[in-house]
Chain A
Amino acid sequence: MASKPQAAANQRFVEELASRLRRRQIVGSRATALETLLVLRQVVSKARFSNIEQLVEIIRSVGRRLVEAQPKEHSVGNTVRKVLHHIREEYHTATENAPSSSTRKFSIAQFVRQGQPRRNPVVVKSEGKPTLKENDPDDPDSFARGLKPVLMEAIQDVFDELETVYDNISKNAKDHIHSDEIILTLGMSKTVESFLKTASHHRNYTVIVAETAPSYGGRAMAQSLSAAGISTFLVPDSSIYALMSRVNKVILGAHAILANGGMFATTGSLLAATAAHSYSTPVVVCAGQFKVTPLWNLYHEYGALDFGDPSAVLGFDEGDLVNKVDVVNPYYDYVRPELVDAYITNYGDHPPSSIYRLIKESYDDEDIDL
């Protein structure tokens, strides 16, 4: 039995996604999250297990394999954690009639207890329903047969959530953007794009887009926004600070939101956030819940910013110069929590200081290390 999770992690479709992640053929938080989910669905549908621990171990080993393949795409691990969380929940509702719904109610008395790592009483073997019998020696597959439809539904829920993430984030857009405001944004973030477009149905406002070198995602963003009829300015990155005094709000996308309330975001975000901080301009970050990552970046690890190919910054054509200088091209900036004023996710709006709560609600503590 011990070799089984290993075998699951080595299945062909898992291997294929792992190598695509490693070769960076698939990039972007949402794309990787969707692909991960598809692989997990296949894994679960093919898995053979006779109790919940086996299933969890199979999924974790697949998750570990994928995360190792590309540790910089945090949404892979997040998706695995979320699926595990949902599976456990479904399992509890299936095995117990009334799961610990009482603990969900908020009261001061329970506040301290909720801060503690929540221990899921996983090994409660109360066979509430006769159809779901774990470790049945006569028919080892009966448990899997009974549980699988529910699990598929659970995965489908996560899938639906990913599909509708932009709409759910954007639905409150008009509460955040007011008429005649000047908004600054940068990079090409689908979330921010749909957020701004939704707001433009109700409000009349101006967007300043920074070019965001060296990827120049800002150009695509400006094109798309102006095509949607929003009054848009495209400015070079260097003028962000100069323009900040006129900006009412900075709206950014994120690559990953960390547990301390900080985030990894496209290069240039730190520049914009720091400039906004010095003018006390609010910084609002739009991101799906799947970007919330149980990571702290306490030691400001250098490599976490994911350094790419320097040719985008200083190409071969610069000739001799390239041999004499070390060129770095980080994909992301680490933006500290104190520079962010609010996160808008599909679960609602949160201050950076309460991101840890979001993590606790979305994932189980035992999955933080996959």
Chain B
Amino acid sequence: MTAKETFSPGDALRDVYTRGLVTGDFVLVHGDLVSNIRVDEVVRVHKERKKVDRDAIMTIVVKECGGGGRVVKECGGGGRTRSKGDSSVFVLDSETSECLHYESVIGYPPKTLTKIPREIFVEHPDVEIRNDLIDCGIDICSVEVPSLFQDNFDYLDLRRDFVHGVLTSDLLMKNIYCYVAKDGYAARVQDTKSYDAISKDILSRWAFPLVPDNNHPSGHIYEHRRGNKYIARDNSVVLARTSKIGNNSLVGSSTQVYENAQILSSVIGRNCVIGPHTVIENAYIFDNTKVGAGCLIEKSIIGAGVSVGNDTKIPKGCLIGDGVTLGPGLQLEPFERLSKKSERADDEDQVAAQARLGVDEGIIVWSRPNPTDEDSDEDDEEGVENSKNQRFLRIGDDAEDLHFSDPGSESSDGEEDSSDDDSDLNLGNLPTSSVTSLDTATIAVHSSELVAEKEFRHEVNLSLERAFAEGHSLENAAVELKTLRMASNVPIARVREAVIAAIVERIPIVEGGGIPQRKEIANVIGRWGPLIGRIGGFDAVETISELQAHCTTSSRFPLFGQILAALYQDDIVEEDDIRAWHRLPSSQGGGNEEMKKCWLIGGRMIEQFDEQESDDQDDNEDESE
């Protein structure tokens, strides 16, 4: 069954759900997958896990690539197939291999930081942060997965949207696990570059038993010769005595190779003709193509039924569509893409391009990203669509000028473990995220994010005002805030900040202060204080810090001590929390007068605690005496 109106894995799964095709757990693979990993073991593990944990909805099969977390510039062998432009960071629980966090990494602009929610470190004592895993694109899914896609109609990609969405959501409460396959081969033919890499892997038998001399899907039989050369077995191939077939090559049936032709690490389809003195290197030529004499074809893909005239040069990275006629004597430039004319009207660019290359009319020269323009539109395109990113996916492009480097994670385990220490709190703008550095460079906060945040703030204020005015119950207010947080995708710290700010602003200032003021504060905190704890990810020390930060900028600055006292009275913060906050170097304000004052107020409170304690002790002593 094929569905014509689906443009993403998300659409397809929604389609599957609406048709009610799946009634049990299923294995989800991409159509472009090449793999010899035994799935039965993974399914067994998934089923067993499901018995214990009903919320385990998915098991992702990942493959370790060489280096085991060390410098993985380009992994060898199977690692050839790890695409540079699109890899990912997995955060796994070492014991259960539950996937705790997922973030996709794109090649350009180089990603240097990954943000990992702090809750992960609190809940899981032992985590692995890995970017040496190849995503095989094999998932064992539970029945719930399509329905989750149905509920979240904006999910498109299985990884970037679905996995990320499920893991970051605190409404769904579903778990995703990873299965790290130690051996076996898995890769996806996603682009011309991986097509090249996977073809090479198949020819050098890494994907065994998926090899040309065995298991060929369409039943062709090839003879395996020394040096991984595969020649069709039906005795129809004509190889001239002086022709040379290099290692890791395949020649289809009824193909003729003439004198002094060289075929090096290339795949030639059926019924092809390779003219004398032609050199074909690292190229893929489909069925029924004729290549004339003295041609040079490098690192390119030539479609079926193409006719290449004598002395034509096709340099690296070219893609020639089916049925195109080229040459003779034509010289293409690298990364040129040609196809046969469809109904598209000619435009002037086309004519110019045709003239530039000297190809016949009736052949479309596809425009290509001009490397010189790229700096200007760098910020226009985000994510994988970025043109520089596309270059990582292109056959024959080693993208050396982009200085892609993947130096691996610099942070040690020690650092990661310390991230839930209080010292991390001084990361002012990223209070709840521990930051794992992937590179020494830092990342700038995007301006668009700021705009979104401002909007979010406004929304929170509105929603809280409504809650205050209409006297909502705490639960309802908390749910409303949660949804708001989902909608605008902001860290939980922002919500807390906003809530604290709103509550503080809610406290009416009574002229003259004293007892009536204290009463007002107790009223407001007593009614709304618990909300701070309800929005999730509660951290008392941070709450105090935020309260301090807010009070310094607000007209309610003098009330800081009283509010703190009220929070303490209502058991929202504990004595130890206040002490912990007081110890933080950042609490002293670093030169800011108001911050300093708040800190001093806190200090006085602690003194009171100490006195109380000693009083208690004295009392005890008195009693004992």
- A310 touching B76 in the complex, CB below 8 Å, given contacts A23-B215, A319-B67, A326-B247: no
Within the complex, the shortest CB–CB distance from B232 to chain A, in Å, comes to 13
A277 in the interface (beta carbon within 8 A): no
Q: Which residues of A contact B76 (CB under 8 A)?
A: 316, 318-323
From B36, B75, B228, contact of A316 by CB (8 A):
B75
**Stretch of A46-54, A102-110, A300-308, A351-359 contacting B (4+ beta carbons < 8 Å):** A300-308
Q: B68 — nearest CB in chain A belongs to which residue?
A: A317
Q: Find out whether the CB atom of A322 lies under 8 angstroms from the CB atom of B77.
A: yes
- A22 touching B209 in the complex, CB below 8 Å, given contacts A302-B224, A303-B223: yes
- A311 touching B77 in the complex, CB below 8 Å, given contacts A317-B67, A326-B227: yes
A31 in the interface (beta carbon within 8 A): no
Q: Which residues of A contact B77 (CB under 8 A)?
A: 310-311, 314-316, 318, 322-323
Q: When chains A and B are docked, how far (Å) is the Cα of A70 from the Cα of B215?
A: 9
In the complex, per-residue mask of A303-347: 1 if CB is within 8 Å of any chain B CB, else 0: 100011111001111111111001111000000000000000000
A24 in the interface (beta carbon within 8 A): yes
Q: When chains A and B are docked, how far (Å) is the Cα of A70 from the Cα of B247?
A: 24
Q: Find out whether the CB atom of B228 lies under 8 angstroms from the CB atom of A308.
A: no
Q: Find out whether the CB atom of B227 lies under 8 angstroms from the CB atom of A316.
A: no
Q: Which residues of B contact A317 (CB under 8 A)?
A: 66-68
**Stretch of B42-50, B109-117, B200-208 contacting A (4+ beta carbons < 8 Å):** B200-208
Q: Find out whether the CB atom of A303 lies under 8 angstroms from the CB atom of B225.
A: yes
B102 in the interface (beta carbon within 8 A): no
Q: Which residues of A contact B68 (CB under 8 A)?
A: 317
Q: Which residues of B contact A311 (CB under 8 A)?
A: 77-78, 183, 185, 206
Q: Find out whether the CB atom of B66 lies under 8 angstroms from the CB atom of A316.
A: yes
B291 in the interface (beta carbon within 8 A): no
In the complex, per-residue mask of B204-247: 1 if CB is within 8 Å of any chain A CB, else 0: 11111101011100000001111110000000000000000001
Q: Find out whether the CB atom of B215 lies under 8 angstroms from the CB atom of A316.
A: no
Q: Find out whether the CB atom of B66 lies under 8 angstroms from the CB atom of A315.
A: yes
Q: Find out whether the CB atom of B248 lies under 8 angstroms from the CB atom of A326.
A: yes
Within the complex, the shortest CB–CB distance from B187 to chain A, in Å, comes to 12
Among A22, A316, A319, max chain B CB count under 10 A is at: A316
Q: When chains A and B are docked, how far (Å) is the Cα of A138 from the Cα of B227?
A: 61
B303 in the interface (beta carbon within 8 A): no
From A72, A309, A328, A329, contact of B185 by CB (8 A):
A309
Q: Find out whether the CB atom of B225 lies under 8 angstroms from the CB atom of A319.
A: no
Chain B contributes a number of interface residues (CB within 8 A of A) equal to 33
Q: Which residues of A contact B183 (CB under 8 A)?
A: 311
B13 in the interface (beta carbon within 8 A): no
B130 in the interface (beta carbon within 8 A): no
Q: Find out whether the CB atom of A319 lies under 8 angstroms from the CB atom of B208.
A: no
B65 in the interface (beta carbon within 8 A): yes
Q: B209 — nearest CB in chain A belongs to which residue?
A: A24
B79 in the interface (beta carbon within 8 A): yes
Q: Find out whether the CB atom of A307 lies under 8 angstroms from the CB atom of B205.
A: yes
Q: When chains A and B are docked, how far (Å) is the Cα of A307 from the Cα of B204?
A: 10
B80 in the interface (beta carbon within 8 A): yes
Q: Which residues of B contact A327 (CB under 8 A)?
A: 204
Q: Which residues of A contact B204 (CB under 8 A)?
A: 310, 326-327
Q: B80 — nearest CB in chain A belongs to which residue?
A: A323
Q: Find out whether the CB atom of A302 lies under 8 angstroms from the CB atom of B226.
A: yes
List A285-304 residues whose CB lies under 8 Å from chain B.
301-303
List A34-93 residues whose CB lies under 8 Å from chain B.
70, 72
Q: Find out whether the CB atom of A303 lies under 8 angstroms from the CB atom of B213.
A: yes
Q: Find out whether the CB atom of B65 lies under 8 angstroms from the CB atom of A316.
A: yes
Categorize the interface residue count of chain A.
20 to 34
Q: Find out whether the CB atom of A316 lies under 8 angstroms from the CB atom of B78.
A: yes
Q: When chains A and B are docked, how far (Å) is the Cα of A319 from the Cα of B80?
A: 10
List B169-185 residues whose CB lies under 8 Å from chain A.
183, 185
Within the complex, the shortest CB–CB distance from B66 to chain A, in Å, comes to 4
Q: When chains A and B are docked, how far (Å) is the Cα of A72 from the Cα of B211?
A: 14
Q: When chains A and B are docked, how far (Å) is the Cα of A311 from the Cα of B79?
A: 12
Q: Find out whether the CB atom of B214 lies under 8 angstroms from the CB atom of A22.
A: yes
Q: When chains A and B are docked, how far (Å) is the Cα of A296 from the Cα of B534?
A: 80
Q: Which residues of A contact B223 (CB under 8 A)?
A: 301, 303
Within the complex, the shortest CB–CB distance from B448 to chain A, in Å, comes to 39
Q: Find out whether the CB atom of A318 lies under 8 angstroms from the CB atom of B66.
A: yes
Q: A19 — nearest CB in chain B belongs to which residue?
A: B215
Within the complex, the shortest CB–CB distance from B413 to chain A, in Å, comes to 21
Q: Which residues of B contact A322 (CB under 8 A)?
A: 66, 76-77, 79
Q: Find out whether the CB atom of A316 lies under 8 angstroms from the CB atom of B205.
A: no
Q: When chains A and B are docked, how far (Å) is the Cα of A303 from the Cα of B213?
A: 9
Q: When chains A and B are docked, how far (Å) is the Cα of A329 from the Cα of B224?
A: 13
Q: When chains A and B are docked, how far (Å) is the Cα of A317 from the Cα of B208?
A: 18
Q: When chains A and B are docked, how far (Å) is the Cα of A311 from the Cα of B213?
A: 18
From A22, A302, A318, A328, contact of B215 by CB (8 A):
A22
Q: When chains A and B are docked, how far (Å) is the Cα of A308 from the Cα of B77?
A: 15
Q: Which residues of A contact B215 (CB under 8 A)?
A: 22-23
Q: Find out whether the CB atom of A307 lies under 8 angstroms from the CB atom of B75.
A: no
Q: Find out whether the CB atom of B205 lies under 8 angstroms from the CB atom of A23.
A: no
Among B36, B76, B211, max chain A CB count under 10 A is at: B76
Q: Which residues of B contact A316 (CB under 8 A)?
A: 64-66, 75-79
Q: B210 — nearest CB in chain A belongs to which residue?
A: A23
Among B80, B185, B215, max chain A CB count under 10 A is at: B215
Q: Find out whether the CB atom of A309 lies under 8 angstroms from the CB atom of B208.
A: yes
Q: When chains A and B are docked, how far (Å) is the Cα of A314 from the Cα of B76?
A: 10
In the complex, per-residue mask of A217-238: 1 if CB is within 8 Å of any chain B CB, else 0: 0000000000000000000000
List B144-201 residues whose CB lies under 8 Å from chain A.
183, 185
Q: When chains A and B are docked, how far (Å) is the Cα of A285 from the Cα of B271?
A: 46
Q: Which residues of B contact A310 (CB under 8 A)?
A: 77, 204-206
In the complex, per-residue mask of B111-155: 1 if CB is within 8 Å of any chain A CB, else 0: 000000000000000000000000000000000000000000000
Within the complex, the shortest CB–CB distance from A5 to chain B, in Å, comes to 19
In the complex, per-residue mask of A197-235: 1 if CB is within 8 Å of any chain B CB, else 0: 000000000000000000000000000000000000000
Q: A327 — nearest CB in chain B belongs to which residue?
A: B204
- A303 touching B224 in the complex, CB below 8 Å, given contacts A308-B208, A311-B206: yes
- A309 touching B205 in the complex, CB below 8 Å, given contacts A23-B215, A321-B76, A326-B227: yes
Q: Which residues of B contact A307 (CB under 8 A)?
A: 205, 208, 211, 224
Q: Which residues of B contact A23 (CB under 8 A)?
A: 209, 215
Q: Which residues of A contact B67 (CB under 8 A)?
A: 317, 319
Q: When chains A and B are docked, how far (Å) is the Cα of A317 from the Cα of B64?
A: 9
From A22, A314, A319, A329, contact of B75 by CB (8 A):
A319
Q: When chains A and B are docked, how far (Å) is the Cα of A165 from the Cα of B573?
A: 80
Q: When chains A and B are docked, how far (Å) is the Cα of A308 from the Cα of B205?
A: 7
Among B77, B206, B225, B247, max chain A CB count under 10 A is at: B77
Q: When chains A and B are docked, how far (Å) is the Cα of A328 from the Cα of B227?
A: 9
Q: Which residues of B contact A314 (CB under 8 A)?
A: 77
Q: Find out whether the CB atom of A302 lies under 8 angstroms from the CB atom of B225.
A: yes
Q: Which residues of B contact A328 (CB under 8 A)?
A: 228
List A133-158 residues whose CB lies under 8 Å from chain B.
none
Among A23, A70, A319, A326, max chain B CB count under 10 A is at: A319
Q: Which residues of B contact A303 (CB under 8 A)?
A: 213, 223-225
Q: B82 — nearest CB in chain A belongs to which residue?
A: A316
Q: List 28 A-B contacts (CB under 8 A).
A: A22-B209, A22-B215, A23-B215, A72-B214, A301-B223, A302-B224, A303-B213, A303-B224, A303-B225, A307-B208, A307-B211, A308-B205, A309-B185, A309-B208, A311-B78, A311-B183, A311-B206, A316-B75, A316-B77, A316-B79, A318-B76, A318-B77, A320-B74, A320-B76, A322-B79, A326-B228, A326-B247, A329-B205
What are the nearest 9 A-B pairs in CB distance? A303-B224, A322-B76, A309-B208, A322-B77, A316-B66, A319-B76, A317-B66, A24-B209, A316-B77
* Known pairs A311-B183, A316-B78, A329-B205 / 12 extra A-B pairs, C-beta < 8 Å: A23-B215, A72-B214, A303-B225, A309-B36, A309-B207, A315-B66, A316-B77, A318-B66, A319-B67, A319-B76, A320-B74, A322-B77
* Interface of B toward A, CB cutoff 8 Å: 36, 64-68, 74-80, 183, 185, 204-209, 211, 213-215, 223-228, 247-248
* Interface of A toward B, CB cutoff 8 Å: 22-24, 70, 72, 301-303, 307-311, 314-323, 326-329
